[in-house]
Structure 1
Amino acid sequence: MTNTPPPFKAHESNEAWTPSRAAFREISGYCALSKPKLDALKPWLDEHAARFEEPRYIENDPIGVVLGYDHPADREIVAFLAAMMAWGRREIVIQKTLQLLEALGPHPAETLRHTNEEQWTQWFSSFRHRTFNVIDIVTFLRGLKGLLHKGGSFEDTWKECFDAVGQNPVDLMSEFQRRFRAAAEPFPKRTSRHISTPESKTASKRLWMFLRWMVRSSGPVDLGQWGFISPSQLRIPLDVHVGRQSRRLGLLKRKANDALAVEQLTAVLRYLDPHDPVKYDYAFLGIGIEGESL
């Protein structure tokens, strides 16, 4: 495998992938590449995505913690909490997620339903992870419990959010943020850095990563447990790393890592794979891990 993107050459005929010039025109304002150059980049990105989306990836990623639970209701809760902890080095994220889950026992969903804030405050009084502390954790648990009480399962809540916005992925995160914050009232200002306000138009990286885990089913890593939304409708989990790599590759012009950048980068990735654009999250991961020169 080469360490740099391939030099420009016309893309070879591929019956499974034949994007039109009209399709490129729709996304040409978002990326810095011509159609031939973007087409030529696809095999290289596909190779990286396939190389890192494999079982060995699980060992060093928070999703491995989620896979340690068998019941779907537990996996929903564990995946959400693990995604919220996903800030910083992966080994530290795993360590902190396991620390958080230890108090919730082997069946976190049931524990959550049958415990209260006084108990949570006692359990997590000394918990620290980056800017997270007991206030944030109790707020998360209060929001989760409130949503479970209203909607039955966590997937039910997300489906209700999706239906409420006319099944428009662009507005999905804002609707979830609104409902989660309402269920978690009183919602501390400090916790907004983790579950932001709908008006902030942030990238919502950790929430989109959570949905990638729960929805994608085509590979050996993601859970594929939820079906209310198609993998083709998911958005790329955009953080500083993904933003930097995508700009170096010419896939994204926009400088800010915000909700609009998420839409623009996802549109470019959907041009490369209309059915599964967020598979390229693994390509960005691989490029970063190997420190490849772009």
Structure 2
Amino acid sequence: MAFSLQLQQIFLSHTRFCSQPKSITNPLISLKLPSIHPLAFAQNAAVSNIDTSVAAIDASAEEGLLPPQLKRELMPKHVAVIMDGNRRWAKMRGLPVALGYETGIRAVRNLIELCGNWGIRVLTLFAFSSDNWLRPKVEVDILMSLFERALNDELENFARAGIRISIIGDSSKLPKSLQDLIDKAVMTTKANSRLHLLVAVNYSGQYDVVQACQTIAQKVKDGNIQPEDINSFLVEQELQTKCTEFPSPDLLIRTSGELRLSNFLLWQLAYTELFFSHSQWPDFGEAEYLEVLSSFQQRQRRYGG
């Protein structure tokens, strides 16, 4: 079954959220004619041949899912997103803030599906900054409850779709039930490899660098390394994004028109291409993502050269 068909079953359901994939029956290729008549036997054989043809078509479709305006060899391996504008989206429509976040989850679901279909290897979402604790408690409680509910509802589906989940940030301050669920999600999906989904929760880019420095300093103190051994590679190995194959994003997207990084992946974004979208996050869909990726593929990445 093509990855897109699996994800359509997952993501077109009611709002939900991240081992081996379970088999999914395709109604188009499971037709069997229950008869022992010779003609029925021949029909079954024909259906079997159709099954093989449909499977081949599915495989070809999966390979050709990339929109024609995009080039596969120029696709970013790692995309990071600052999902901004949920509250403004709701307020502009006279709706409760909670509904803005609920609608934002649908945009998350859609983006994950597109990344899986288009060959993105790593997707990092900035879900909750360490600075977001300053927001009203009722809003923080809504976010925590929504994240826990969505993760719990979507965990089995993510595992089945081959999505691996990792959490970056200080999870020790999260509700205990959410911490336990995160541990379960990480363990359940750790063998998956189709798409690596990193969710930054209670994350600070500055603290990420600080904790890396503290770890390295302890190694120097213990005599395991010398000060002159410290280099950028060593620092990168101590950052929280070390959990993924491609720790540095090729592309960062921030929605809602804000032009700042907001303490997100500060080390990792050193040579990342930046795109600031005017769309509020709940409105960010396939057309907006195509615009961003088309812009990315037209750029020349010089890395200072």
Identify the TM-score tier after normalising by the shorter chain.
under 0.3
Is the helix fraction higher in 1 or 2? 1
- The two structures have a TM-score, normalised by structure 2, of 0.21
Is the strand fraction higher in 1 or 2? 2
- The two structures have a TM-score, normalised by structure 1, of 0.21
> Greater CA radius of gyration, 1 or 2?
2
